[in-house]
Structure 1
Amino acid sequence: MSATHILVVDDEPDIRETVRDILEDEGYTIANAENGEAARRALRERRPDLILLDIWMPDLDGISLLKEWAEDDGLPCPVIMMSGHGNVETAVEATRLGAYDFLEKPLSLAKLLLTVERALEADKLVRENVGLRRRTPLVHEPAGRSAAMQRLREQVKRIAQHDTWVLITGEPGTGRETFARFLHSQSARRERPFVDLGVSAIARGNAARELFGSEEGGHVHYGSLEQAAGGTLLLDEVADMDLEAQSQLLGALDTGSFLRVGGSDPVAIDVRIIAATQRDLKEEVREGRFREDLFYHLNVVPLHILPLREHAEDIPDLLNFYVDYFATHEKLPYRRFSVGAQNFLRNYNWPGNVRELKNLVQRVLILGAGDEITQTEVETALGSTATAPAQPLEGLVSFDQPLRQAREQFEKAYLDYQLDKHAGNVSKMAKEAGMERTHLYRKLRSLGIEIKERR
């Protein structure tokens, strides 16, 4: 597992070496670049976690380089500017372009270390907040006190201590991603990124760019393998990967490196891969839809997540967990499930597994009233999921708000309904909605709607 990687860009050799020695003593790995062109090469070779960038250099000044990076996909990581001839205008311009901070030369050892530490921590918080906005669940230990769940949690903790690849299988809604995140949180890679790549959401022919990144006209786009460097990459619904992409991924895994699309220099792989699928990959191999050699690469350690009906004794714990979750994180009213409601739910078949249970809890907390959730209320809520009558527009959208917000509210309700109706099948959903798939994917992302939650 790689340490935090910092790129130091400065035309003065003494400063480069001094900064390298200081930061390496703190456990960071350092790459040096003596000018702007060397910095461009360094970014092509490896995505850094932080850049220390001098402003005044002979070939290309740091502000121009910062502007160039910002105009690509945005800055690849936090950037701290350095200068012995700084002024307020330069600092303001650097900040406007996205620089995290500005250090004056001669560098103060204490201030350098503190600024680097704070920049890395701020970047980590930004990534966590982006995950929250995308409705990514917080990392928590999967709930349940049954013998089956206790065995599963212990198995995950044992697997996490070894840097092996894992194949997670299970029905839709069983919590495959939850277990993948829990595994990452228990591993030595926990301080490095966890990147979730939804394979089924990748447009056909675009898998190589999403996985490996690309280079074009000197601009670098970092793919998921580099974004997860040192950490964990979850290939969600890996069975949906087309054969060409499977072949490219296999080549990368065989050699331990890959080429970005349009690139010529190999990039080393340093990542734990967790693959997840609801399908039987052995059957997919027999049918010729999945490469056998890739299957054996990914299936180093298999982990099967049980459907909820096979550990129904955990349902009371799960109900309590999600009531607490929504009361804490979404400020919904706290309500408790009656004994009758809990017994009814323990005998329900749960075709949608834990995802269905979570949605049920959220629904009764939003729509119900009173301290107790009764069996009748639960039966009504579950019945409405199977035969939901068309709701009047007034029930979906508040008319006492600006038109743009009302439109977004309606679009979200409409697309939520379509996703549930088609069990997350975007092709069927796009056909019924009369939308082109690429446009539909963009719309779902802009509204914060997760496709994989419906599978």
Structure 2
Amino acid sequence: MSTPYILVVDDEPDIRELVRDILTDEGFEVNTAASGAEARASRQRRRPGLILLDIWMPDVDGITLLREWAAEEAEPPPVIMISGHATVESAVEATRLGAWDFLEKPLSLAKLLLTVRRALEAASLRHENQRLRRYGEPLEEPVGRGSAGEALREEGRRVAAVEAPVLLTGEPGTGKRTLARYIHGQGPRAAGPFVEISAATVGGATAAETIFGRETAEGPHYGLLERAAGGTLFLAHVDELSADAQAQLLAALETGRFRRVDGQGEQPLNVRIIAGSQLGEHDLARGGYLRRDLYDHLAGLPLHLPPLRERAEDLPELTAFFADHMAAVEGLPFREFDVAAQNRLRQHPWPGNLRELRNLVQRLAIAGGETAVTAAEVEAALGGETNTPTGIDFDQPLRAAREAFERAYLEHHLKQQGGRVGEVARVAGLERTHLYRKLRALGLQGSRKG
């Protein structure tokens, strides 16, 4: 289980040792600093999850340190100020700079522990709220009582109990973020932060700095590994990581430590890694997208998310869930789907998977009406095409969008040609051997006849 790391800064040795011993007995990991200079150095070596900071110290006062740290980080860890000679002005200034609370000496040990726990809980809740505002993700666990939905929850609970890295694979929109969040919430690090990043949005040196942080003359810039300390880092589109970033991630997984860009010392790796990719395991391992040794580390606990077209039995529950969400969160009218509409949903190939279904339910709710959604409305919302897949997600990286289109395109022609690869090759203008390789890469099958 992850242990919160706390830095205690106070120039009085008796208080430092007392607070350290109490917090250690309560299961926290504690480091101490006797001066502002020691506090700066300690914080540069390792980012704390919470700081107990004395106001009056011989070299630099706590207010100055608080001001420095607030300017360096957009989301600094909670800071609890402690002092035996505080003034109203110093208390007001500390609060203005973002201090979580103010404790007076002599310290009440019961109040100290209560304040520390509440500050850590508030920091976790703040991070969760920021994640929800950023992604608007309604699902907190895989939905569906069919065999696929049940299997995803069961597999999620199984791997959650083990702290090893997890590799999630599946087409775009199948719910990898939701499953990663579910695994985090079911595991021993559930009380810690859940931090996520798409490797497709950062590249080269930017990726390394974003994930591992950087040391500068002005102080450390903490990366996501330190911001996620005690919790989970979900690394989506892991196959988009640069070669250098892959090498650094591999070293961190092998040694349990990592180094910031331009850094001198090493930081402990106190985070669970969940990686996600829209490519299949075969392509990741042999297609050159990931180093083989990094793949072996990440794929110790592999989970594949099935596409929505293979989860027809979950469609009614998923549709109802999204309709409830639109009504409760977005204030849109709640509309049920009649039997004919549900049947039409089952016929659709869903190339955009859960994301496409959510958008469809939203469009039909915006269209309004107090009556149930009909098959004709579903047909119109899908573009009126019964055989040609639609709904490619234009918000995803180009490689993933191209793969989603190629899969939908080839599925359509395989169906049209009765699975005859030779005929599909003729229609698509491809050599048959090239088409076979393409089908294998996309996990599709056709008949060798014709």
Q: Same fold (TM over 0.5)?
A: yes
Q: Aligned pair count?
A: 397
Identity of aligned residues (%): 53
1:65, CA displacement in angstroms? 0.7
Q: How far apart are the structure 1 equivalents of 2:24 and 2:288?
A: 49
Give the partner amino acid of 1:327.
Answer: A
The aligned counterpart of 2:159 is 159
Partners of 1:90 and 1:117 lie apart in 2 by 24
- 2:102 match: secondary structure: strand
Pair 1:37-2:22 in alignment: no
Aligned to 2:375: 375
Name the aligned partner's letter for residue 290 of structure 2: F
- What is the identity, as a one-letter code, of the residue corresponding to 1:173? G
Q: Deviations over 1:384-429 (max 9, x none)?
A: 899xxxxxxxxxxxxxxxxxxxxxxxxxxxxxxxx97735237999
Structure 1, gaps ≥5 residues long = 387-418, 430-455
Instruction: Name the CA distance, whole Å, in 2 between partners of 1:271 and 1:75.
Output: 18
Structure 1 residue matching 2:370: 3-state secondary structure:
coil
Q: In the aligned structure 2, how far is the partner of 1:71 from the partner of 1:344?
A: 55
Other-structure match for 1:235? 235
Q: Which amino acid aligns with 1:256?
A: G
- What is the match of residue 180 of structure 1? 180
CA distance in 2, matches of 1:284, 1:26: 43
- Mapped partners of 2:393, 2:276: distance in 1: 23
Instruction: Summarize the Cα distance change of 1:230–1:61 in structure 2 as closer, same or farther, 3 Å threshold.
Output: same
Kindly indicate whether the alpha-carbon contact (under 8 Å) linking 2:166 and 2:303 is maintained by their aligned counterparts in 1. Answer: yes
Instruction: Report if aligned partners of 1:145, 1:314 keep a CA contact under 8 Å in 2.
Output: yes
Name the CA distance, whole Å, in 2 between partners of 1:283 and 1:315.
29
- Residue 15 of structure 2 aligns to a residue whose secondary structure is helix
- Output the CA distance in 1 between the equivalents of 2:372 and 2:134: 31
Distance, in Å, in 1 between the alignment partners of 2:15 and 2:145 is 57
- Tell me by how many angstroms 1:230 deviates: 2.0
Q: TM (normalized to structure 2)?
A: 0.84
The answer for the alignment partner of 1:422 in structure 2 is: 394
Judge conservation of contact 1:139–1:182 (CA < 8 Å) in 2.
no
TM-score by length of 1: 0.83
Matches within 5 A, 1:376-415: 376-383=376-383
Query: Cα 1:198–1:75, aligned 2, differ >3 Å: closer, same or farther?
Result: closer
Give the distance between the partners of 2:81 and 2:131, measured in 1 at CA.
27
Q: Separation in 1 of the partners of 2:393 and 2:384?
A: 12
The question of whether the paired residues in 2 share the 8 Å contact of 1:2 and 1:270 is answered with yes
Which string of whole-angstrom CA distances, capped at 9 and with x for unpartnered residues, describes residues 257-307 of structure 1?
Answer: 111112111111122211110113533443434211111111101100001
Q: Which letter maps to 1:132?
A: L
Equivalence for 1:273: 273
For 1:292-344, what per-residue CA distance to the aligned partner results, in whole angstroms no more than 9, with x for missing partners? 11111111011000011112111011001111122222222211111111111
Measured in 2, the distance between the counterparts of 1:168 and 1:285 equals 14
Q: Distance in 1 between matches of 2:149 and 2:116?
A: 41
1:402 aligns with none
Check the 8 A contact 1:69/1:75 in 2, yes or no.
Answer: no
1:115 equivalent in structure 2: 115
Residue 161 of structure 1 deviates from its aligned partner by: 1.2
SS at match of 1:373: coil
Tell me the CA shift for residue 22 of structure 1.
2.2
- Superposed CA deviations along residues 1-22 of structure 1, whole A, max 9, x for unmatched, are 3311111100000111111222
Counterpart residue number, 1:64: 64
After TM superposition, give the deviation of residue 218 of structure 1 in Å.
4.4
1:210-260 alpha-carbon deviations (Å, 9 max, x no partner): 111111114111111111112111110101112121122112222221111
Instruction: State the 1:118 CA deviation.
Output: 2.0
> Who is 2:305 aligned against?
305
The DSSP-based 3-state class of the residue aligned with 2:382 is helix
Q: Residue in 2 aligned with 1:351?
A: 351
Match of 1:22 in 2: 22
Structure 2 counterpart of 1:272, which letter?
A: R
Query: Is the aligned partner of 1:194 residue 2:166?
Result: no
Contact 1:281 1:290 in 2 (8 A): no
The residue matched to 1:191 in structure 2 has which SS?
Answer: coil
Conserved 8 A contact 1:33-1:42: yes
Paired amino acid for 2:325: Y
SS at match of 1:234: strand
- 1:131 paired with 2:103, answer no
Aligned partner of 1:180: which letter? A
Q: Which SS does the other structure have where 1:89 is aligned?
A: helix
Equivalence for 1:329: 329
Q: Is the 8 A contact 2:50 2:79 kept in 1?
A: yes
Compared CA separation, residues 228 and 136, structure 1 to 2 (3 A): farther
SS at match of 1:2: coil
Report the Cα distance in structure 2 between the residues aligned to 1:218 and 1:342, rounded to whole angstroms. Answer: 59
Please provide the CA RMSD for this pair.
2.2
In structure 1, the partner of 2:95 is 95
Return the offset for 1:24.
2.2
**Which whole-Å CA distance do the structure 1 matches of 2:393 and 2:148 have between them?**
31
Contact 2:333 2:368 in 1 (8 A): no
1:365 aligns with 2:365: yes
Specify the code of the residue in structure 2 equivalent to 1:422: F
Structure 1 residue 74: Cα displacement: 3.4
Q: Distance in 2 between matches of 1:425 and 1:233?
A: 20
CA distance in 1, matches of 2:92, 2:279: 53
User: In the TM superposition, what whole-angstrom CA distance separates every residue of 1:26-73 from its partner, at most 9, and x where no partner exists?
Assistant: 222211110111111211222111111001000111011111111112
User: In the TM superposition, what whole-angstrom CA distance separates every residue of 1:90-145 from its partner, at most 9, and x where no partner exists?
Assistant: 11111111111111111122322222222122212211111121024255221111
| Aligned residues of 1:47 and 1:76 also touching (Cα < 8 A) | no
C-alpha distance in 2 between matches for 1:301 and 1:332: 40
